Amino acid sequence: MMNVEIRFVMQGKEVPVDSSVEAIVREVRASVREEISRTLTKPDQHGSESRRTDTSGMPVQALSIREAGRLLSISPRT
């Protein structure tokens, strides 16, 4: 049997896991709120179609069933 022990130490003092996780969650939540508000308050200078394609260069994530099958090399009859 193998035991794993993880201790959170902050400024030389051991910190309970619960309070560490709560602090991390608070920071992530604040960061996400800030990012969302920054994105929502950004002025819309382009049409909705160009904004959607320019967003961080992400590729299209929606495609037809036929195209998905082709990309996965699955026969249309499957």
pLDDT tens by residue, 2-37: 998 888 887 888 888 887 788 888 999 999 998 888
Q: Name the residue type at position 63.
A: L
Q: 0.75 cut: is pTM over it? A: no
11 backbone φψ class: left, alpha, beta (φ>0; ψ -120 to 50) = left
Task: Give the model confidence (pLDDT) of 36-58 as tens digits.
Answer: 888 888 665 555 554 444 556 77
DSSP string, 11-62: TTEEE-HHHHHHHHHHHHHHHHHHHHHHHHHS---S-HHHHHHHGGGPPP--
Strand partners, 10: 13
